[in-house]
Homo-oligomer: A and B are copies of this chain.
Amino acid sequence: MISDRAKQWQSHDPFLVKAHFACADDPFDPGTNPDGYVNFGTAENKMVFDVLKPLLQKHIRIKEPDTHYNQLHGAQFFREAIAEFLGRRAGRNLSPNNITVASGASAILEMLSFAVCDPGDAILIPTPYYSGFDHDLALRSAARLIPVSLAGPDFTLSISAITRSLHESRAEGGSVRTLLINSPQNPLGYIVDDDLLNELIALADSENIHLIIDEIYAESLLPGNTLNSVLSHKNAVYSMVYGFAKDFGLSGYKVGIHYSEDEDIVQTMQNTSYFHTVSMETQRTLTGVLNDPGLEVFLDTMRLRLSKRYRTTVEILTSCGVPHTTVQGGIVLWLGLRRLLQSPTFDAERNLYRNIFSMCRVNISPGQAFHCVEPGWFRLCFTMPEKEHNEGMRRLTGYFADI
């Protein structure tokens, strides 16, 4: 009874999602389930709820107008609060009219894929990348993802690598319409520097591709780092994607944000937001949070805890001799576990993943799920609750020592 396209989706089985729910069915709890799974695989910040809760609590409201239809791309008051919040990142005034709100950053990415790509059109994306992008950008919109394969140990992103992939793809007849860059980058943790950002904008312009910068980890910065936000660029064509899932630890509220100054893109995003509208209850709550003088305290506390946790995690990894990337922003570490592989293959990587999952009951995500071209890399989210984090690190270091 289902359509041919729906049959194709059934075969799509997102690795990270599956691993997440396997852990969620039997989760570690220091008191009640000390042998449960420790989930370092899902990128969530679980270190901020105590600071966020009073903010949320203060601003939940039942208001009659919120029970009725409002603008489907986000209520004016919410988009105004977002514009002001993003404006601080941009260092300039942003118009609420350029903002589209939708039910999560995944929804925003899917909408963008529809907006920019016809079926078969291609999206360039450097590897390793968050594997949810496969799902978000290509599943229903029928666009194609073309990986720009970067090599370890640094996986350095360069304009030349992107240009090479672009020209190769075009030479093969591919219609490349867009380039997706993530900064701070997941899983690598670097921030795209100003020079590269300028080059990316210039490349997109000269090659007539739409530049999407996913800044979902924009506020999760480690000490000494600042984000060179694409939002600071006036008179440039790009899409900026953001959301509350990561920096606010609010993945459950499913709120994504799109900003662009390209009128056609904005119009298209606002048209399709109709199908992804966020509950006015949540728009109201988050407006209160964004406008609250306590917001900066919340973000500072989040960053302080992030930094402390990063430091202790890195100390443990270093003491175990596990190489890892230096994180400028984000909540994940990229670990080089190649020396633990029985052979330098993805089969061996999968075996290592399975062993850690079944023997340690710890979920860390194998690099293949991120389209990494080198076997042996794993992603670890270091912002779990303290007891879970400590238990997971204890199990992992024990495992590393044993083999």
* Chain A 98-125 near chain B by CB (<8 Å), digits 1 or 0: 0000011011001000111110010000
Chain B residues in 8 Å Cβ range of A136: 275
Minimum distance in angstroms from A150 CB to a CB of chain B: 26
Q: How far is the CA of A114 from the CA of B141 in the complex (A)?
A: 11
A133 lies within 8 A of chain B by Cβ: no
Write the nearest CB–CB distance from A161 to chain B, whole angstroms. Answer: 23
| A275 in contact with B272 given A1-B116, A2-B265, A67-B250 (CB within 8 Å) | no
Cβ A276 vs Cβ B275 within 8 A: yes
Convert A44-74 into 0s and 1s, putting 1 for each residue whose CB lies closer than 8 angstroms to a CB of B. Answer: 1010010011001100101011111111000
Whole-angstrom CA separation of A264 from B3 in the bound complex: 10
In the complex, A262→B6 CA distance in Å? 14
Q: Choose one: B44, B210, B254, B274; the contact of A278 (CB below 8 Å).
A: B254
Which of B3, B9, B65, B278 is within 8 Å of A279, CB to CB? B278
Q: Is A282's CB within 8 Å of the partner chain B? A: yes
Q: In the complex the two chains form, is A251's CB within 8 Å of B69's CB?
A: yes
- Which residues of the other chain, B, contact A20 by a CB distance below 8 angstroms? 69
CA separation between A64 and B277, bound complex, in Å? 23
B60 with A44: CB separation less than 8 A? no
**Chain B residues whose CB sits within 8 angstroms of the CB of A118 once the complex forms:** 3-5
- Chain B residues with CB under 8 A of A279: 103, 252-255, 278-279, 281-282
Complex Cα gap A15–B66 (Å):
23
A44→B70 CA distance, assembly (Å): 12
Q: Is A267 an interface residue (CB 8 A)?
A: yes
Question: Do residues B62 and A57 form an inter-chain contact, with CB atoms below 8 A?
Answer: yes
Once A67-B252, A278-B279 are accepted as A-B contacts, the answer to whether A1 and B49 lie under 8 Å apart by CB is no
Complex CA distance for A106 and B103, rounded to whole angstroms: 14
Q: Is A268 an interface residue (CB 8 A)?
A: yes
Does A285 have its Cβ within 8 Å of any Cβ on chain B? yes
In the complex, what distance in Å separates the CA atom of A9 from the CA atom of B6? 22
Is A10 on the interface with B (CB-CB < 8 A)? yes
| Interface flag for A227 (CB, 8 Å) | no
A6's nearest neighbour on chain B, judged by CB, is B268
Taking each of A67, A140, A249, A262, which has the highest tally of chain B beta carbons within 10 Å of its own beta carbon? A67
How many angstroms between the C-alpha atoms of A68 and B178 in the bound complex?
31
Docked CA distance A121–B2 (Å): 12
A254 → chain B, closest Cβ, in Å?
5
Residues of A within 8 A of B (CB): 1-6, 9-10, 12, 20-21, 42, 44, 46, 49, 52-53, 56-57, 60, 62, 64-71, 103-104, 106-107, 110, 114-118, 121, 135-136, 140, 177, 208, 210, 237, 249-255, 262, 264-265, 267-268, 271-272, 274-282, 285
Can you sample 20 A-B contacts with CB below 8 Å?
Answer: A1-B208, A2-B264, A2-B268, A3-B115, A3-B117, A3-B121, A5-B114, A10-B267, A20-B69, A49-B64, A49-B67, A53-B64, A67-B249, A104-B275, A136-B275, A140-B275, A252-B280, A281-B281, A281-B285, A282-B282
> Besides A2-B268, A6-B268, A254-B278, 19 other CB < 8 A contacts?
A1-B116, A2-B264, A3-B177, A5-B114, A9-B272, A10-B271, A12-B271, A49-B64, A60-B62, A103-B103, A106-B274, A106-B275, A110-B275, A114-B140, A140-B275, A252-B279, A254-B280, A279-B279, A281-B281
